[in-house]
Amino acid sequence: MNEEAPFDADDEEWAEIVRSIREVRRISRGYAEYWEWAPDRSRAELDAALVLHKFLVAAGEMVSGSLTVVRPDPPDVLLETVNGRRVGIEVTELLDPDAVKRHSDRKKRGDPPAFDTAHWTPTRMAETLSQIIRVKDYKLRKVASGFDECFLAIVTDEPGIDEWLSRDAVSRCWSTVQHIHRAFLVMSYHPATNVDLYPDRCLVLPLQLRA
């Protein structure tokens, strides 16, 4: 069966859409793709920051504002609130590199996709979150003074990570920081997530930090 979408070469707009879809499929890692950077890393970072901001506004913890991509980074996104605060949002991804490599290797060989997910435990996940926070806190050291606050959004779409595992891992994760004011784990979309608490149906869990 031919899975390539057909298009009329004379219809330039539709042809460009189809070419874009094909290019995304070509460069996609084929694993945990919800927050994947392909084909536009900055667009994905902005989307993640928007999910976090909408959650905080819905929770009454922050006022509305505008978000723009920061170049050069870090941080990845600037949030300018209506009351004049400047919040830098660094976005990164929790992902198992070995699982990504296995899926990438299958794709290169032309093998069909396989149900092959990374194995996560609350302890492993908590340790990984702590390591990410340490790395990003160090990365932000030279720019943090230019913002009223610095936030870290750690997104994940790992198939083996669910809400129960995430909440358990977050409860075990305590990190000492100097430059990050708040950090969050941001899960991918799930239709059962309470939209009143999480406007995008993406679970957002605050991480515990020590100054």
Q: Give pLDDT tens digits for 6-47.
A: 555 566 776 665 555 555 555 567 788 899 876 788 999 999
Does 11 fall in a domain? Answer: no
| Dihedral angle over CA of 81, 171, 188, 132, nearest 10 | 70
Domain containing residue 194: 33-210
pLDDT tens figures, 81-123: 999 999 999 999 999 999 888 877 777 777 776 778 899 999 9
Does 5 fall in a domain? Answer: no
**Which residues fall within 8 angstroms of residue 184, CB to CB, at 6 or more apart?**
52, 151, 152, 153, 154, 204, 205, 206, 207
Is-contact 87 149, C-beta < 8 A? yes
Measure the CA–CA gap between 17 and 156, rounded to whole angstroms: 27
Does 7 fall in a domain? Answer: no
Does 125 fall in a domain? Answer: yes
Does 3 fall in a domain? Answer: no
Q: Indicate the pTM of the whole model.
A: 0.86
**What is the SS3 assignment for 85?**
coil
Count of domains for the chain: 1
